[in-house]
Structure 1
Amino acid sequence: GLRVGLLVFAIVGSVGVFAGICTVIYCIYTGVCCGRKKIHNSVQPTITRGSSSTSHASSNNPPSRSLTVRRQGSRALWRQRSGTSSAKHADRAEEFSFEELAAATNNFSVENRIGAGSFGVIYKGKLSDGKEVAIKRGETGPRTKRLQEKENAFDSEIAFLSRLHHKHLVRLVGYCEERDERLLVYEYMKNGALYDHLHDRNNIEKHSSFINSWKVRIGIALDAARGIEYLHNYAVPPIIHRDIKSSNILLDANWTARVSDFGLSMMGHESNKDLRPLSAAGTLGYIDPEYYSLNVLTAKSDVYGFGVVLLELLSGKKAIIKGENEGDDPISVVDYAIPAIMAGELGKILDPRVGKPELNESEAVELVAYTALHCVNLEGKDRPTMTDIVVNLERALTLCEDSHGSISSVGISIASD
């Protein structure tokens, strides 16, 4: 009996030791592999003091440091903001050579230049397969700070657009990263930027432009609103664009609007907590005054910028309006339009190129105006959400085709925090 017991004990002990060794080997193996894969497979931002300090230290590197060292900060910042690794930019985005993109744009000729975005010039190009694209080439120069900004914008756009897919967001086709060159390739938007149509010097009367129609303008506003709503409510984590303006709303061949340029975008918090970036960013005339003065960023900052775009669509005026006479101070479209809207004198500020709204359009235009009024409230808590705005614009578009119903009967969807 003792012999059998010892034999059983020896067998069980051997099995236990073997299992323990296998467990240790497995843990070491999976630990190493997961450590390598963690950054690549992550979908949540990894915000740590370590990565922040790395980014900050990198931005202060002197020009004599190697390109590899200079890039560490931007890569850490990218992982912090997107949760993805810069080693594999996007499995859906194609990597192009600089030579290919130079050939596609006739060596980046002035004739191919179609605009500018955050830290880059945009060119129209045709790839070897005949596909038309828009190519943004990052600015080149010896200044380290400018290089850092360019790389941050480059990394941000790839990080966001490679995982965002929505009919009202411009799609990323691919990228190029060679030496100091940083290029992004987007689908080509045949009808350009909303800004160019609204403020074209040749657009002087109703028949000068396709967008000189209240129905078309409201449709464009609704498309853009849906794109921004997706960023705020359906992207995980949420994304705050930070540079909503008419030049970042592009129009495709069918006049469908898409939001573009994510070079300044930042991850929001799913808990809707405030963000405090290092410094306020955006464009004069569109930037949220609360964000600018307090450096507190929320999704409502995008709402303010979109409110300015709505006022542009209504009035035909630029975000910053130059004085009519020499020496006159410029004023914002907000200061120009809001007093008239509040006084019930909307007709005074409507774009004369579109003309007076017809019976079935007047209520729709009023609904857009009152939505814009709430969007540009000084305090973010008093502004509507993008979902509220989408609901209002959907109703406004319906009103353009329906002479029945009124603002008093349908109500205005405005919810504040």
Structure 2
Amino acid sequence: MAMWTVLGDVATVAQLVGADVVGLISRITQAAETARQNRRDCRQLARRVLIISRLLPLVEDPEAARPMAGLGDTLKEAHELLMSCQRRSAAYHFFMAGRKAVRFREMQNKIDFYLLLFPVTSHIGIARRLDRIYKLLDSAGAGGEASTLSESSQLHLQESTVVAQEVVPYETHEFTFAEIVAATDYFGPHTVIESARSVYKGRLRDGRVVAVKRITDRQSDSTKRKFHSELDILPQLRHKHIVRLLGSCVTATKDKRLLTNPQQKKKRLLSWWRKEQQEPEWLTVYEYTENGTLFHHLHPDQGSSELSSVTVPWKTRIDVLLGVSRAIEHMHCHANPPIIHRDINTQNILLDANWVPHVSGFGLSLVCDKAMSEEFEMTCPVVGTIGYIDPEYMTRGHVKLTSDVYALGIMMLEVLTGRKVIQEDEQGAIYLKSFAVPVIEAGNIRGLLDTRPVPEPTPGQLRALEHVAQTAR
């Protein structure tokens, strides 16, 4: 059963656009085939309209589809334009050719506007679904049934307020190397958070606890490019569910930084300094997130019996997904220009002391322009984490905003099942999607859920989790 049927919302996308969209698209394609004049322009326009016909069924959320309310009128105009090309008169064609060319350009621009909206509306739909699913879990967990949703206008106002509240203004700071050395206790081994990425825990002089990522000249050029990418992109993304960049430090030579700082006089600092190799360093300073990565909680070390506060309550799992979804929505819909993350995965989801998720790992991110639409895309080398990469991007190198949405869907399955995205057995690698989708299509939601010692979901929670699985699929 469709999500919106369950929630009692009878509005449809077709009703919103206010026209027989299917009939109009059919008539447009027929008119393009029988056009006597401007055949090339007619067929190009028809191809754009056919793209809309393939994408329209994907938009199930009336709130997300509201910006498309004028699509019906645009399609009517397109049909009238193509019908005017059925005439044979050479004289008419001669006198009207210039005006027709202008009309075709204007009409293609109008159609392109709606094509640009589809990736945005489809992602907003996912965020809205998760928001409602979380409310279902909240009410079901309290022992009651899901409450009736408020009217669309009230809900839209509430969601707009949430988006506004989640934008967090802050400023970045240029740290000295000596400040960072002091904060991390000279990069002592006891401060290491993640050795593979050279991340250290530190405390600034004002008492703030931070995470410091350290890149040395010995590391690869791609690692250095990630550093510059994060410095360029993160200051544009100031959101509750996106990791906060506090500042950075770039040292051409370390001693140049130290000589300008009074701490150079301290014997311990000078002693440590003499032992270190004289090489450039690139450092970024982030707000510290106490509870590590979502991956660590979903897939603890083998033999660990500790239960995680993020995986035991089903409601908390969905709350984490909701936060990630809102972060991606901010990147795609509110950042100007939009940002494609390209590496959404559970290792890049950090959890703070209150289990609030923060999207991190922007080293592979892209600033996009025409990639916003299904028709326009960026072709670039394939990067990211295997298992989360959009198949079209993997095979053709075409990355779009929807590539992040695909990765979010895989993450939903990972959170529901507690399984890794790729698991090895005697027969080889098993991808999570290959396992989960047939189970979902068979309607066996209990066969999909994490089997570790978590509370058995109530009937209301089970229905809500089924909606998550259907959304991920």
Please state if 1:317 is matched with 2:419: yes
Partner SS state of residue 241, structure 2 = coil
Q: CA deviation at 1:108?
A: 2.1
Partner of 2:241: 168
Which whole-Å deviations, capped at 9, do the CAs of 1:309-345 have from their partners, x for residues lacking one? 111100001111121xxx4302111112111111111
Q: Which runs of 5+ in 2 are unaligned?
A: 1-169, 253-279
Q: Secondary structure at the match of 1:224?
A: helix
Corresponding residue of 2:315: 215
Task: Compute the RMSD of aligned alpha carbons.
Answer: 2.1
Within 1, Cα distance between the matches of 2:320 and 2:372?
28
| Aligned partner letter, 2:448 | I
Greater mean deviation of Cα atoms: 327-336 or 211-220 = 327-336
Question: Which residue number in structure 1 is paired with residue 457 of structure 2?
Answer: 357
CA distance in 1, matches of 2:392, 2:303: 34
Matching residue within 165, 188, 197 for 2:288 = 188
Q: Quick one: structure 1 residues 342 and 262, their matched pair in 2 at CA, closer, same or farther if it must change by over 3 Å?
A: same
SS in structure 1 at match of 2:372: coil
Secondary structure at the aligned position of 1:330 is classed as strand
- The residue correspondences of 1:137-176 to structure 2 (distance < 5 A) are 137-141=214-218, 146-147=220-221, 149-176=222-249
Cα distance in 2 between the residues matched to 1:126 and 1:261 = 22
SS at match of 1:189: coil
Structure 2 counterpart of 1:294? 396
Name the residue aligned to 2:436: 337
Give the conservation status (yes or no) of the 8 Å contact 2:209–2:287.
Answer: yes
Q: Residue 271 of structure 1: CA displacement?
A: 6.8
Instruction: State the distance in 2 between where 1:347 and 1:204 align.
Output: 25
TM-score, normalised to structure 1, is 0.62
Per-residue Cα deviation, 1:346-384 (whole angstroms, up to 9, x for no partner) = 2112101234311220111000000110xxxxxxxxxxx
The residue that corresponds to 1:43 in the other structure is none
Give the residue type in structure 1 aligned to 2:193. I
Q: Which residue of structure 1 lines up, in the alignment, with residue 405 of structure 2? A: 303
Please give the alpha-carbon distance, in whole angstroms, between the structure 2 residues aligned to 1:367 and 1:135.
39
2 CA distance for matches of 1:184 and 1:206? 32
The aligned amino acid for 1:345 is N
1:255 Cα deviation (Å)?
A: 1.0
The higher relative CO (CA closer than 8 Å, separation ≥ 6) is in 2
Query: Compared with structure 1, are the counterparts of its residues 223 and 355 closer, same or farther at alpha carbon in structure 2 (3 Å cutoff)?
Result: same
Question: Does structure 2 conserve the Cα–Cα contact (< 8 Å) formed by 1:250 and 1:259?
Answer: yes
Q: Match for 2:346 among 246, 250, 267?
A: 246
Counterpart of 1:197? 297
Q: 1:188 to 1:121 in 2, by over 3 A?
A: same
Q: Which amino acid aligns with 2:232?
A: A
Residue matched to 1:348: 447
Q: Secondary structure at the match of 1:166?
A: coil
Q: 1:350 to 1:158 in 2, by over 3 A?
A: same
**Offset, 1:204:** 6.6
Matches of 1:301 and 1:215, distance apart in 2: 26
Equivalent position to 2:199, from 122, 145, 163: 122
Q: Give distance in 2, aligned partners of 1:278 and 1:116.
A: 30
Distance 2:191 2:311 in 1: 24
The answer as to whether partners of 1:203 and 1:209 remain within 8 angstroms in 2 is no
Q: C-alpha displacement at 1:203, in angstroms?
A: 8.5
- Give runs of aligned pairs for residues 28-67 of structure 1, distance below 5 A: none
| Residue correspondences, number | 274
Instruction: Report the 3-state secondary structure (helix = DSSP H, G, I; strand = E; otherwise coil) of the residue aligned with 2:446.
Output: helix
Per-residue deviation, 1:205:
6.9
Superposed displacement of residue 140, structure 1: 3.6
1:270 shift after superposition: 5.6
Residue pair 1:285, 1:319 contacting (<8 A) in 2 also: yes
Tell me, yes or no, if structure 1 residue 95 matches structure 2 residue 168. Answer: no
Following the alignment from structure 1 to structure 2, what is the Cα–Cα distance between the partners of residues 236 and 151?
A: 25
Matched residue, 1:328: 427
- Residues 1:260 and 2:339 are matched in the alignment: no
Equivalent residue number for residue 177 of structure 1 = 250
Counterpart-to-counterpart distance in 2, 1:356 and 1:267? 43
Equivalent in 191, 197, 213 of residue 136 of structure 1: 213
Gaps of 5+ in 1: 1-90, 374-417
In structure 2, the CA distance between the partners of 1:336 and 1:109, relative to structure 1 (3 Å rule), is farther
User: Is contact 1:190–1:252 with CA below 8 Å preserved after alignment?
Assistant: yes
1:347–1:356 contact (8 Å) kept in structure 2 = no
1:217, distance to aligned residue in structure 2 (A): 0.3
Cα 1:292–1:138 shift into 2, 3 Å: same
- Report the TM-score, using the length of structure 2 for normalisation: 0.55
Deviations 1:240-299 (A, max 9, x none): 000000011111111111111110000111672444343111011111111010110101
